[in-house]
């Protein structure tokens, strides 16, 4: 399976997701500013992956910070990484985790602080892979044998430390011997489905077909799709789900056609401070992503554009939310709170 991000002695190494699938190239970030830039420019993307990147970015920043100004530099490092992308809550969750550790290390020699932060960032990475395997194990029984699974965007190994959330459920179903294939929505405008999901599944020899986003309704009506599985960037306490733009349309079409719509996400994607999805900040991205395809204009000059990167699917369209601690179903207010409290980390 592809290595998305890695802590090395040379720096934080990431596969460049802006260049896949044509070029497999790795970027080495030697400073926290380079990590922040990699998140902003989507060299690395996907909610859990940017959380891991941010944790490693904090560790990298502290490794280069001066002892005399450590506290203020730490604040700047965290604020800079937090300002990269607004929607995926895993980014803020990971930075808060590093902040809590840093606070607990006050008074220790700088070498010990640096070592502890590096260890913690690597733990965030290792935990994420274990969490995704647990999500896969919990979600696999929901995937019907002999059917097609529809997914949107990329919630795979590339969007996490490894294995994936939605694609983790698909991987677990394949590992369990189920005969399934995958339809990947291309996911305009950034084409995470076409470029990343198809590439990633091909690496693992999991049968996949690419469809354009506007074909999803046609196939959901056809009876071929056994279920939809997608990831999430933030889940409010009532079960509303922010995920890649276009997810909402797929969810409505799934419900209309009686196809189960599953969301696979770690507990760290829950934001129980928010009552509903209306409060989730939605990132707006550059117009050029819509007016151009790989630098080639596909619209007249000066075309006005809206480019929200995410939408919110109301929980009434969500059949179940698959986490590492179990599967939540409506009423989500209760089921999500119970899962979050299971390990005592209720936000």
Query: Which residues does the annotation mark as catalytic?
Result: 233
Q: Which of 11, 48, 86, 162 binds ligand MRU (CB under 6 A)?
A: 48
CB 265 within 8 A of CB 89: no
Exposed/middle/buried for residue 143 (C-beta within 10 Å: 0-12, 13-18, 19+): buried
Question: In whole angstroms, how close is the CB of 306 to ligand MRU at the nearest point?
Answer: 16
- Edge-first strand listing for the sheet containing 181-185: 208-211, 181-185, 148-151, 225-230, 261-264, 320-323, 326-328
Q: How many residues bind ligand MRU, per CB under 6 A? A: 17
Q: Which of 172, 244, 274, 319 binds ligand MRU (CB under 6 A)?
A: 244
CB 62: neighbour CB atoms within 10 A? 22
**Token duo for residue 48:** 């859990």
Question: In whole angstroms, how close is the CB of 279 to ligand MRU at the nearest point?
Answer: 18
Q: Counting contacts by CB under 6 A, is residue 47 touching ligand MRU? A: yes
Q: Counting contacts by CB under 6 A, is residue 57 touching ligand MRU? A: no
Q: Which of 4, 84, 243, 291 binds ligand MRU (CB under 6 A)?
A: 243
Residues forming a β-bridge with 297: 292
Q: Counting contacts by CB under 6 A, is residue 231 touching ligand MRU? A: yes
Contacts of 297 (CB under 8 A, 6+ apart): 291
Question: In whole angstroms, how close is the CB of 66 to ligand MRU at the nearest point?
Answer: 33
Q: Which of 25, 26, 21, 31 is nearest to 6 (CA)?
A: 26
Closer Cβ to ligand MRU, 243 or 335, answer by number: 243
Q: Counting contacts by CB under 6 A, is residue 309 touching ligand MRU? A: yes
Q: Counting contacts by CB under 6 A, is residue 53 touching ligand MRU? A: no
Q: Counting contacts by CB under 6 A, is residue 193 touching ligand MRU? A: no
**Token duo for residue 344:** 């005592």
DSSP labels for 270-281? EETT-SSGGGS-
Q: Please, which of residues 245-304 interact with ligand MRU by CB under 6 A?
A: none
Q: Counting contacts by CB under 6 A, is residue 216 touching ligand MRU? A: no
Q: Which stretch binds ligand MRU (CB under 6 A): 44-52, 97-105, 253-261, 311-319?
A: 44-52
Q: Counting contacts by CB under 6 A, is residue 232 touching ligand MRU? A: yes
Q: Which stretch binds ligand MRU (CB under 6 A): 39-47, 68-76, 133-141, 323-331?
A: 39-47
Q: Counting contacts by CB under 6 A, is residue 197 touching ligand MRU? A: no
Dist CA 49 CA 69 (whole Å) = 29
Q: Please, which of residues 63-102 interact with ligand MRU by CB under 6 A?
A: 88
Dist CA 243 CA 259 (whole Å) = 19
Closer Cβ to ligand MRU, 61 or 231, answer by number: 231
Q: Please, which of residues 117-176 interact with ligand MRU by CB under 6 A?
A: 153, 155, 159-160, 165
Report the DSSP pairing between strands 310-313 and 241-244: antiparallel
Sign for the pseudo-dihedral over CA of 142, 91, 188, 129: negative
Angle between helix 47-64 and helix 32-40 axes, rounded to 10 deg: 160
Q: Which of 12, 38, 43, 45 binds ligand MRU (CB under 6 A)?
A: 45
Residues in contact with ligand MRU by CB under 6 A are 45-48, 88, 153, 155, 159-160, 165, 192, 231-233, 243-244, 309
């Amino acid at each position: 399976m592809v290595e998305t991000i890695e802590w090395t002695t040379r720096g934080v190494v990431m596969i460049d997701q802006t260049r896949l699938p044509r070029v497999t190239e790795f970027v080495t970030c030697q400073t926290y500013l380079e990590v922040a830039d990699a998140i902003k420019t989507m060299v690395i993307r996907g909610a859990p992956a940017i959380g891991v990147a941010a944790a490693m970015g904090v560790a990298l920043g502290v490794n280069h910070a001066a002892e005399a100004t450590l506290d203020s530099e730490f604040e700047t490092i965290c604020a800079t990484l937090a300002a990269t992308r607004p929607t995926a809550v895993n980014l803020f969750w990971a930075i808060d985790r590093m902040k809590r550790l840093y606070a607990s290390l006050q008074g220790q020699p700088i070498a010990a602080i640096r070592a502890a932060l590096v260890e913690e960032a690597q733990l965030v990475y290792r935990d994420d892979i274990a969490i995704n395997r647990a999500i896969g194990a919990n979600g696999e029984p929901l995937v019907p044998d002999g059917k097609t699974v529809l997914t949107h965007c990329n919630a795979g190994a590339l969007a996490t430390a490894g294995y994936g959330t939605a694609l983790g459920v698909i991987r677990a179903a394949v590992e369990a011997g189920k005969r399934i294939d995958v339809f990947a929505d291309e996911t305009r405008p950034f084409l995470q489905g076409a470029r990343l999901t198809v590439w990633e599944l091909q690496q693992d020899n999991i049968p996949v077909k690419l469809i354009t986003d506007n074909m999803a309704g046609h196939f959901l009506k056809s009876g071929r799709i056994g279920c939809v599985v997608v990831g999430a960037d933030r889940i409010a306490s009532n079960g509303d789900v922010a995920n890649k733009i276009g997810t909402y349309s797929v969810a409505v079409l799934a419900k209309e056609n009686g196809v189960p719509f599953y969301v696979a996400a770690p507990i760290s994607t829950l934001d129980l401070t928010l009552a509903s999805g209306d409060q989730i900040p939605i990132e707006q991205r550059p117009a050029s992503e819509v007016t151009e395809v790989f630098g080639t204009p596909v619209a007249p000059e000066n075309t006005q554009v809206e480019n929200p990167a995410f939408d919110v699917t109301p929980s009434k369209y969500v059949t179940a939310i698959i986490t590492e601690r179990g599967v939540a179903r409506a009423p989500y207010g209760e089921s999500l709170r119970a899962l979050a409290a299971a390990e005592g980390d209720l936000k």
